Amino acid sequence: AAAFERRVLRRAAEHHYLRVRLELPDGGARPNAAQFKQLVVTALRELHGEVGASLPVDVLTYEEKTLSAILRVISSGLVKLWSALTLLGFYQNRRCAFRVLQTSPFLLALSGNSRELVL
């Protein structure tokens, strides 16, 4: 008879990764990588103050053409970052919205999307 063995991850991952996209409904200037990072920090500062702005967030990749990026944050700051991005509504006095497309404690998991898999 096959035995069932339950495995539990004892130590949580140190970082979490988010694939995000910035949506700007009207045309206009698109942020470069530095401006994108500043926008993320601004979102954290607006919602969580200076303590939130000090949260270490890294922009690992950024595509200016699609306005999408992969962000890395320490796991304890995932909820703060996600909520700050979700509630941000303006970029340079224009409406905008961040969409969190994927999140994972493993960077490799963001390399593909099973929903877009073509066989």
We report the CATH number of the domain holding residue 52 as 3.30.70.3250
CB 68 within 8 A of CB 19: yes
pLDDT averaged over every residue in the chain: 89
Residue 79 or residue 25, greater confidence: 79
The answer as to whether 2 is a domain residue is no
Instruction: For residue 5, name the pLDDT band (cuts at 50, 70, 90).
Output: confident
The stretch 17-39 carries a mean pLDDT of 91
Q: For residue 5, is it within any domain?
A: no
Bridge partners, 68 (sequence order): 21, 63
Q: Is residue 9 part of a domain?
A: no
Segment 105-115 mean pLDDT: 81
Q: What is the pLDDT of residue 26?
A: 76
Percent of the chain beyond pLDDT 70? 89
Domain count across the chain = 1
